[in-house]
Structure 1
Amino acid sequence: MLNSKFLSLLLGLVLILSNVQSFSQVKDISLDEMIGQMIMLGFEGTRIDDTKFKDIKGNIIQNKIGGVVFFDRNIININQVKEFISSINALDKKEPLFIAIDQEGGQVSRLKSNRSFKTFPSAKYVAQHLSTAKAFDLYYTMAITLKNIGFNLNFAPVVDVDINPKSPAISLKNRSFSSDPKTVINYARTFVLAHKKANVLTTLKHYPGHGSATTDSHFGFTDITHTWNDLESIPYRTLIKEKSVNIIMSAHLFNSTIDDRFPASLSKVHLGKILRHDMKYKGIIITDDLQMGAISKSFDLNTVIINAINAGNDILLFANYFTLDPHLADKIIDIIKLAIESGVIKKKQIQLSYKRIIHLKRLII
């Protein structure tokens, strides 16, 4: 009979070999393909043979992107979107895609009742009217709906603490569960667990916290220097410690006391030091849409991409909503490769992001 010491040695050898194999697999992947996994794009079109979808279809087949995000413009009804996603997944590519959507409930719901989808209430309504047990059932229904259609990633829940009742992006749209961090944590955890049961990934947003902001980062510079409160970090710290996190979305929020040059989404201090080092977060970080006014009005594409990666983001999200660029994936790849060649971005950072992304995809897709 094998003794426990031998079994321990055998297990250790297996772990070493698996790590070696994992590293070898990364070495065998081309740089272009690794970078491609870090790109998620929005698009136009409602079916696979739509001429508006041609460029994104080419990006997928050529392994230039690792995910797509659906908006209202891509959704007509349940049968249409289900068939569209099925056709996308059937395209010849090396790795499966993240198929993402914003389905928070309330005002931020891409699957709308006027298109025959079930209506889900806002986060604020849920926390005020439902127990966590009933909320779990509600969010499980939401997650199963997403799963059955073909989505594997939901850009939710919002874990912003409702500090400013006049916040245009959060409170005025009832997107926060509560002004109490503990309530936010309890309902966000419920949301995540319900989606986990349905095998759908979730995203905590908007780090480091949009709940105190007086402006909306969709439209321009959003400064939280004098409004941000450490209460806003509690949901992240708690849920990270509980290992209740798949992905965290970095927001375009400026806080000069932390970084006097860049918003959180482009900041090494916000993401590298505080989120990764201090909070010990090891998972995927995705940017909020890098074409939002808070970013596009202040920085050029080269600056955005380089700083987003060096800050610690693993996935770069471009909604392609107001400024559709058919060559965007190629531009992003070229900028990153040139930055690596010049030493501005370390190749190791790309490899690390690739490994995080593939690890999560293997678990869920």
Structure 2
Amino acid sequence: MTTRALILGCAGKTLSAEENAFFRDVAPWGFILFKRNIGTPDEVRALTQALRDTVGRADAPILIDQEGGRVQRMGPPHWPAYPAGGRIGRLDGSAVAMAELGARLMAHDLASVGINVDCAPVLDVPVAGAHDVIGDRAYGTTPERVAEIGRAVARGLMQGGVLPVMKHIPGHGRAGCDSHKGLPVVEADFATLTAQDFAPFRALADLPLAMSAHVVFTALDPDHPATQSAIVIERVVRGFIGFDGLLMTDDLSMHALQGSFRARTEAAFAAGIDVGLHCNGDLTEMRGVVEGAPGLAGPALRRAQEALARLAVAAPAFDVSEARARFEAALSLAA
């Protein structure tokens, strides 16, 4: 069975017979979960196992967006509520340590239910006047601070056996609209972009996975968002930033992208994307995405294999209760 270069979502807390058959036939590389898929811990464990069973791969990546704050798919009553990245970044003196510790705790939560990839850290650097879709998700307002905290988050996740995905490469912090709803167009010059927007990604270019930005950078390619721009992917992502890990799209169902689902998927792969991501679990849309997606092969297959190989590193011993108490104490003290 040829693995398809896709990460797909499902509709609910269990797989329907139609979804089961679809995933067995399509054989996506991985899956992504959202709040609609999250029940009790036992239900999530059963779902992650069922998804892996459809493709016959015990290490098939299962992703989730678990940043903390506004973007947290697993939360109370079964899991703790984690603070937004911006709150962590403002901790005096302890931000780096607490970012790593919080991410390590999140990794424990995720790994315990079979999730092995977290779509974090957010490496976007917000600027005044930009849309608040990033807002308090950002770890700071300078590239240096964002990179420093982002590195700690990635380190904490990997220590807990969860792969990080840096997003949204090469930068969403300057966008004037939410790419879920429209296409952001950034008109900053190349020197400004390299000094600020692209810098945190360059500092963390050794990470295994990255998610693209549905953002047009007019200084590079005025006609295509980064996800579908060979210029941006070759010159910036692979070139200036130096990222040679697995590059996935942001959600192909977002309104920043135009055209049929087959067409928008084909455009992303033609530009140099490794893996397509479709999140909402709509089977009709996914069938179009599948039509536009290749099998996982060549450099994309190598990058996927290298990413999963980093899961094999044994995690150090970890006292969850002690760590959670220490994390909560630091947040209480700061408050």
Q: 2:256 aligns with which of 294, 313, 322?
A: 294
Tell me the amino acid that sits aligned with residue 44 of structure 1: A
- Please say which of residues 226-235 and 302-311 is displaced more in the overlay: 226-235
Where does structure 2 lack aligned partners over 5 or more consecutive residues? 313-335
Tell me the amino acid that sits aligned with residue 280 of structure 2: N
Q: 1:155 aligns with which of 113, 119, 122?
A: 119
Q: 1:134 aligns with which of 98, 101, 108?
A: 98
Check if 1:360 corresponds to 2:311: no
Give, in angstroms, the shift of residue 47 of structure 1.
2.0
Q: Which residue of 2 aligns with 1:238?
A: 203
| Cα distance in structure 1, aligned partners of 2:289 and 2:18 | 15
Query: Matches of residues 271-310 of structure 1 in structure 2 within 5 Å?
Result: 271-295=233-257, 298-310=258-270
Please state whether the residue corresponding to 1:317 is helix, strand or coil: strand
Q: Which residue of 1 aligns with 2:109?
A: 145
Q: 1:195 aligns with which of 139, 142, 157?
A: 157
Give, in angstroms, the shift of residue 226 of structure 1.
4.2
Please state whether the residue corresponding to 1:121 is helix, strand or coil: coil
Q: Which residue of 1 aligns with 2:172?
A: 210
Q: Which residue of 1 aligns with 2:63?
A: 100
Encode CA deviations 1:175-203: one digit per residue, 9 max, x unaligned. 00111111111110000011111110011
Encode CA deviations 1:95-144: one digit per residue, 9 max, x unaligned. 7421010000100000122x421111000000102431222222111111
Q: Which residue of 1 aligns with 2:12?
A: 45
Tell me the amino acid that sits aligned with residue 299 of structure 2: L
- Please say which of residues 310-319 and 60-69 is displaced more in the overlay: 60-69
Aligned residues: 307
Partners of 2:7 and 2:32 within 8 A in 1? yes
Partners of 2:249 and 2:276 within 8 A in 1? yes
Please state whether the residue corresponding to 1:160 is helix, strand or coil: coil
| Cα distance in structure 1, aligned partners of 2:54 and 2:242 | 37
| Cα distance in structure 2, aligned partners of 1:190 and 1:327 | 36
Rg comparison, structure with higher value: 1
Give, in angstroms, the shift of residue 166 of structure 1.
4.8
Provide closer, same or farther for how the CA distance between residues 70 and 351 of structure 1 changes in structure 2, counting only shifts above 3 A: same
Query: Matches of residues 249-288 of structure 1 in structure 2 within 5 Å?
Result: 249-288=211-250
| Cα distance in structure 2, aligned partners of 1:206 and 1:155 | 10
| Cα distance in structure 2, aligned partners of 1:95 and 1:141 | 23
Larger fraction in helix: 1
Q: Which residue of 2 aligns with 1:11?
A: none
| Cα distance in structure 1, aligned partners of 2:88 and 2:182 | 30
Provide closer, same or farther for how the CA distance between residues 92 and 292 of structure 1 changes in structure 2, counting only shifts above 3 A: closer
Give, in angstroms, the shift of residue 327 of structure 1.
6.9
Provide closer, same or farther for how the CA distance between residues 362 and 139 of structure 1 changes in structure 2, counting only shifts above 3 A: closer
Q: 1:328 aligns with which of 279, 286, 291?
A: 286
RMSD over aligned Cα atoms:
2.2
| Cα distance in structure 2, aligned partners of 1:283 and 1:154 | 15
Q: 1:181 aligns with which of 116, 136, 143?
A: 143
Provide closer, same or farther for how the CA distance between residues 95 and 306 of structure 1 changes in structure 2, counting only shifts above 3 A: farther
Q: Which residue of 2 aligns with 1:110?
A: 73
Where does structure 1 lack aligned partners over 5 or more consecutive residues? 1-29, 338-346
TM-score, normalised to structure 2, is 0.85
Give, in angstroms, the shift of residue 280 of structure 1.
2.4
Give, in angstroms, the shift of residue 85 of structure 1.
1.5
Partners of 1:289 and 1:318 within 8 A in 2? yes
Identity of aligned residues (%): 24
| Cα distance in structure 1, aligned partners of 2:85 and 2:212 | 20
Tell me the amino acid that sits aligned with residue 137 of structure 1: L
Q: Which residue of 2 aligns with 1:4?
A: none
Partners of 1:206 and 1:251 within 8 A in 2? yes
